[in-house]
Homo-oligomer: A and B are copies of this chain.
Amino acid sequence: MKTKKILLDESDIPKQWYNVVADMPNPPAPPLGPDGKPIGPDALTAIFPNALIEQEVSAERWIEIPEEVRRIYGMWRPSPLYRARGLEAALGTPARIYYKYEGVSPAGSHKPNTSVPQAYYNREEGIRRISTETGAGQWGCAMALAGQLFGIDVRVYMVKVSYQQKPFRRSMIETWGAEVLASPTDQTNSGRKILAEDPDCTGSLGLAISEAVEEAASRDDTNYALGSVLNHVLLHQTVIGLEAKAQFEKVGDYPDAIFAACGGGSNFGGVAFPFFADKAAGKEVRLVAVEPSSCPTLTRGHYAYDFGDTAGLTPLLQMYTLGHDFIPPGIHAGGLRYHGDSALVSQLVHEGLVEAVAVPQLGTFEAGVTFARSEGIIPAPESSHAIRATIDAALECKRTGEAKTLFFNLSGHGHFDMAAYDDYFAGKLHDYAYPQEEIDAALARLPKV
């Protein structure tokens, strides 16, 4: 029997996370305060536990994973690496295609890789309540699950359009015992301000972040948790790439190119950064961040200092951004709708060490269906962006006859996205390219620093 799954033992769960900062050619650009001056770690203690702030600014290459976190990782980790023999056959490509499958977590995506340590460090420092936000719902589920496992109450500000369109993500969050509110709410200044301007506002991720941050900053008993973008979040996700490296070693192969969907960057950073270590040491490997053309942060945004949220409550981060008041078009199904991006991923893109491509919505769903029919697993639309880019590369191999090794991260399953598949089959989805003048206008509103 030709092995399809490449598995590791529970004892092979990494003992340390990998911090890409140690191998970057230049140190990360510092976050700035409202006055345009670099802020220190102290500015973050109102909303984050000290351990996470230390990780956020650390330059150490390896950071220990607490034993209790590893034990909970063991619920679903190590996740399988698959050789996509069915997809290869369907495409008729000489390429060898592999994917790591993070949909095996109870929440169905890679997000618990960081919600679990975030809940752990908060509990260790005596925090019993966390506020957070969620867009498509994956992060809210992951944080609710982790909160339940560590006895922490969780409140989730869920972007209203998702709250309405994805009731089952909401039910899932509630099943794990967390509270869910449709954002914008009347519970925060940020929410009230927007509702006064537009009572029908269906929300955005940036706005939900404002609400959750505001709540955490104004309540002593409450911390904030973010599901992507920040350095410590990407750090936690490196378990994906670290395991994948061990799995490739086990079968004696190594990727020529790695593809991962990129919204805030945690999925991409999680799988790609451990391979960046090899790239920094001279190994040839392409690292490709794939984003939707309807929210083209890395490919059409500016590399500039901007706020992480709509209301401007967060520090300024140097990143690719479409402007913090950018609200992506409602037609785009699934996540990856954030106006900015991880500062680490942005810097590596800016320095030419990481590639970025944008793929259109219809081609993304077509790739997802091809994958479902050849490999069995129905992918999350987010993950299908990586599948699209991988299939394009595999078809290029077919043209050239090259047997390259292609690897992508299947960050989650699509069980809660079947309405989007329905819309796709019914011809209700469209490709959307954001008009350049609107992007220019949003970028003209970037804060001056």
Give the shortest distance, in Å, between A175 (CB) and chain B (any CB): 5
Stretch at the interface among A165-173, A227-235, A271-279, A295-303: A165-173
- Is the pair B5, A172 in contact by a Cβ cutoff of 8 Å? no
Q: Indicate how many identical chains form the complex.
A: 2
| Among B2, B108, B175, B422, contact of A171 (Cβ-Cβ < 8 Å) | B422
Quick one: CB contact mask for A60-72 with B, threshold 8 Å, 1 for yes?
A: 0000000100110
Give the shortest distance, in Å, between A252 (CB) and chain B (any CB): 17
A106-B377, A415-B108 known; A1+B7 contact, CB < 8 A: no
B residues less than 8 Å from A376 (CB atoms):
75, 106, 145, 149
Give the shortest distance, in Å, between A117 (CB) and chain B (any CB): 15
Bound-state Cα–Cα, A419 to B168, Å: 7
| Among B2, B171, B416, contact of A419 (Cβ-Cβ < 8 Å) | B171
Quick one: CB contact mask for A139-151 with B, threshold 8 Å, 1 for yes?
A: 0000001001100
A373 within 8 A of B: yes
Chain A residues within 8 Å of chain B by Cβ, number: 44
Bound-state Cα–Cα, A19 to B375, Å: 30
Bound-state Cα–Cα, A86 to B418, Å: 31
Considering only CB atoms, which chain B residue lies closest to A368 in the complex?
B175
A3-B74, A7-B9, A10-B5 known; A372+B175 contact, CB < 8 A: yes
- For the complex of A and B, list the 7 residue pairs with the smallest distance between their C-beta atoms, beginning with the closest: A106-B376, A168-B418, A171-B418, A415-B415, A171-B422, A4-B74, A106-B377
Which residue numbers of A lie inside 8 Å of B, CB to CB? 1-5, 7, 9-11, 67, 70-71, 74-75, 82, 86, 104, 106, 108, 145, 148-149, 167-168, 171-172, 174-177, 369, 372-373, 375-378, 415-416, 418-419, 421-422, 425
Beyond the given A149-B376, A174-B425, please list 8 additional residue pairs across the A-B interface where CB-CB is below 8 A.
A3-B74, A75-B376, A86-B149, A106-B376, A174-B421, A175-B369, A175-B373, A177-B373
